Amino acid sequence: MKADPLNDHRTELPLRPVRTTALVAVAALALAAVAWVVRAVWHIRLAVAGMPASGPMDQGGGRHRLPTALEDGYHIVDALGSAVMLLCAAAFLFWLGRVRDNARALSGERLRYSGIWVYAGWIVPIMNLWVPRGIIVDVHRASAPGERLPGVVNWWWGLWLAGMAGGVGLIYPYDEDDVIVRAYTDVWQLLLVDAAVIGAAVAGVLVVRALTAAQRARADEALRHDDAPVATP
């Protein structure tokens, strides 16, 4: 409840529950980390097996050889991993949109980024280098005013950018057959990117937990002072 100086009565600001959405986001991020571990294992298996004597699948001149069983398996692993990443993205964005709305309600001020940037911030070139982190910073600043930004936020964002820079399809499409060739010829580059993505997922879990806890603590404090937005279904 918050006093309305214009009409001399108390009004309600919407505060949406975040515990369940946070749990779903954490579970999805953990699942994404597992999926990327499986992907990394497959990269190692391809590297150990080595490129077939017949060469890469793309033989040039429009000719393609049949994939090996291991290459076929990678296509399946990659498809499942992509589905998990989509699920993870949906869960994380739903959580992020909710805590952003709550941050605005708790602070009573307009945030730097409008709601559309919760989604567009990840796909608009150049802007996707800082906007998502900026939204997280806004949420923390409004939810825990005066407190230092958790260091894990910077770890999460740095690892995410490293994974995105690796060009393995985190945001933009890529050619699976090219990745298979890279596994045969330069697997260490792929494994570094895999490690960055796995680290970003783990750090993302900690980010979700930290911001959710900060927001719930701020809401509880506001309730104790009888100045809290009321949760809506």
Does residue 10 carry a pLDDT above 50? no
Residue 64 confidence class, pLDDT cut points 50, 70, 90: confident
Which percentage of the chain shows pLDDT scores above 90? 56
Instruction: Assign 3-class secondary structure to the chain.
Output: CEEECCCCEEECCEECCCHHHHHHHHHHHHHHHHHHHHHHHHHHHHHHHCCCCCCCCEEECCEECCCCHHHHHHHHHHHHHHHHHHHHHHHHHHHHHHHHHHHHHHHCCCCCCCCCHHHHCCCCCCHHHCHHHHHHHHHHHHHCCCCCCCHHHHHHHHHHHHHHHCCCCCCCCCCHHHHHHHHHHCHHHHHHHHHHHHHHHHHHHHHHHHHHHHHHHHHHHHHHCCCCCEECC
Does residue 135 carry a pLDDT above 70? yes
Which pLDDT value is given to residue 177?
81
pLDDT in tens, 146-203: 899 999 999 999 999 998 887 655 555 567 788 888 899 989 989 999 999 999 999 9
Residue 11 confidence class, pLDDT cut points 50, 70, 90: very low
* pTM to 2 decimal places: 0.84
Q: Which residue has the higher pLDDT, 119 or 56?
A: 119
Residue 224 confidence class, pLDDT cut points 50, 70, 90: low
The whole-chain average pLDDT of the chain stands at 85
Does residue 59 carry a pLDDT above 90? no
Which pLDDT value is given to residue 72?
92
Which pLDDT value is given to residue 139?
94
Range with the poorest average pLDDT among 72-81, 114-123, 211-220: 211-220
Mean pLDDT, range 52-65, rounded to an integer = 78
